[in-house]
Amino acid sequence: MEVGILRQIFIGIVCNLLIIDSGLNEGWSTPIIPKFKQDDPLKVSNDQIVWVVNLMYVGVGLGSIVPFLLMDRIGRKGTLLFATIPKIASWILIGLAATIGQLYIGRLMAGVGCGITYSVMPMYLGEVSSKKTRGPLGTAMAVLLNTGMMLAYAIGLWTSRFAMSMISLSLPVAFLAIFVWLPESSVFLTRKNKLTSAERTLKWALGKDDVIEELEEIKRIVASEEKSSERRARSVARSVRELFARRENRRAFRIAVILLSALTLTGAAPLLAYQSFIFVEAGFEVSTNVSIVMTGCAIVVAGSVCVSVVRFTGKRLLLLISTPICVLSLATIAIFFGLLSAGRDVSALRWMPTVFLVIYVLGYGLALNPIPLAYIGEIFHTDVKAPAAIFSSLYYAVATMLVVKFYQVLQESQGTYMPVLAFTVITLLIWLLIYRYVPETEGKTLEEIQIELRRKN
pLDDT digits (tens, 9 = 90+) for 199-225: 777 777 776 766 676 677 777 767 765
CATH number of 427's domain: 1.20.1250.20
Q: Determine what percent of the chain is predicted with pLDDT higher than 90.
A: 35
pLDDT of 372: 87
pLDDT greater than 70 at residue 457: no
- Tell me if 224 sits within 8 A of 246, measured CB to CB: no
Same domain (yes/no): 13, 145: yes
Domain count, the chain: 2
Among 66-80, 132-146, 254-268, the range scoring the smallest mean pLDDT is 132-146
The pLDDT of residue 233 is above 50: no
Mark which of 182, 201, 216 sits at the end of a domain.
182
Least confident of 180-184, 386-390, 448-452: 386-390
Mean pLDDT confidence for 156-166: 91
Residue 21 confidence (pLDDT): 95
Give 392's Cβ-side CA count (13 Å radius). 37
Q: Are 11 and 136 in contact (CB under 8 A)?
A: no
Q: Is residue 217 part of a domain?
A: no
| Cα angle: 336, vertex 337, 341; to 5 degrees | 125
Residue 367 within a domain: yes
pLDDT at 231: 43
Domain containing residue 165 = 1-182
Lowest mean pLDDT among 70-84, 243-257, 290-304, 349-363: 243-257
Q: What is the pLDDT of residues 291-300, one digit of tens each?
A: 888 998 998 8
What's the confidence (pLDDT) of residue 138?
Answer: 67
Average pLDDT score over residue span 150-177: 92
**172 to 25, 199, 201, 393: CA distances (angstroms):** 12, 29, 24, 20
Q: Identify the pLDDT of residue 241.
A: 66
- Examine residue 202 and state whether it is found in any structural domain, yes or no: no
Domain presence at residue 204: no
Q: Could you tell me how many helices (H) and strands (E) the chain has, helices first?
A: 21, 0
Do 156 and 250 lie in one domain? The reply is: no
Q: Is the separation of the CB atoms in 381 and 246 below 8 Å?
A: yes
- Confidence (pLDDT) at 385: 72
Q: Which among 112, 105, 110, 125 has a CA at the least distance from the CA of 7? A: 125
User: What integer best gives the mean pLDDT of the chain?
Assistant: 84
CB atoms < 10 A from the CB of 345, how many?
A: 8
Nearest Cα neighbor of 316 from 422, 127, 145, 452 is 452
Lowest mean pLDDT among 167-181, 293-307, 352-366: 293-307
pLDDT for the residue 6? 80
Asked whether the predicted pLDDT for residue 232 surpasses 50, the reply is: no
The closest alpha carbon to 429, from 261, 256, 251, 250, belongs to 261
Mean of the pLDDT values across residues 427-440?
94
Are 282 and 176 members of one domain?
A: no
